[in-house]
Chains A and B, each alone.
Chain A
């Protein structure tokens, strides 16, 4: 399974944009890029996923580099509720399962 590299922690101020980076230099052409987050004392929560093109949804935006070796999760206006561990995960397209291989993620702290 292709691996991802994320910073251990980041800090942001409330109501400012947050850019969470993820490196995946060994990504294959058929790997999807997924982002999940885990708030304290809760299970992981789906945020967004994409293959090649940038993606937007109500929670966030996903910017994928042209060579797909890196991606960035963008929270447009951080709130205190966005404080969580953010996981960047690759999963193979066309596989028999949608299992996820989690790393240790990025712990995002949001300051008021």
Chain B
């Protein structure tokens, strides 16, 4: 079975630009979450969507936005990129949005902002 797939795997952008990251969840999973992982730290929660509705938002500025499509895939958008946005962006899917539903992570998109 295919796991969570993310695209692109690597990306280089310039300060001030916009970026869109994409995620396809495991088939049958209706919840998608986004995490940011800076080098040397654990992943930090950005968003969660379930059935196309936002279910949670982490402590990130409004430059970060996301959405979930009818096929449950998701996009993460970041506007006005800053050097500090350089990180590994992880997408995770789960069957439900409840605490007993384990998250399945993709291998991430490595974003470098220069």
Contact = CB atoms under 8 A, between A and B. Distances in A.
Interface string B71-114: 00000000000000000001010101111111111111000000
Interface in B29-62: 31, 33, 35, 40-45, 48, 50, 55-56, 58
Chain A binding site: helix, strand, loop or mixed by DSSP? loop
Interface in A73-100: 85, 87, 91-100
Interface residues of A, number: 27
Interface residues of B, number: 31
Nearest to A92: B99
A102 B43 contact: yes
A8 B90 CA distance: 23
A43 B42 contact: no
Interface stretch (A15-23, A44-52, A60-68): A44-52
B107 A43 contact: yes
Contacts of A2: none
B106 A43 contact: yes
Contacts of B42: 85, 87, 102-105
Nearest to A97: B56
Given A32-B100, A41-B107, A44-B90, 12 more contacts: A94-B99, A95-B99, A96-B97, A98-B98, A98-B99, A98-B103, A99-B48, A99-B56, A102-B35, A102-B43, A103-B42, A104-B40
Interface of B: 4, 31, 33, 35, 40-45, 48, 50, 55-56, 58, 90, 92, 94, 96-108
Interface of A: 32, 34, 36, 41-46, 49, 85, 87, 91-105
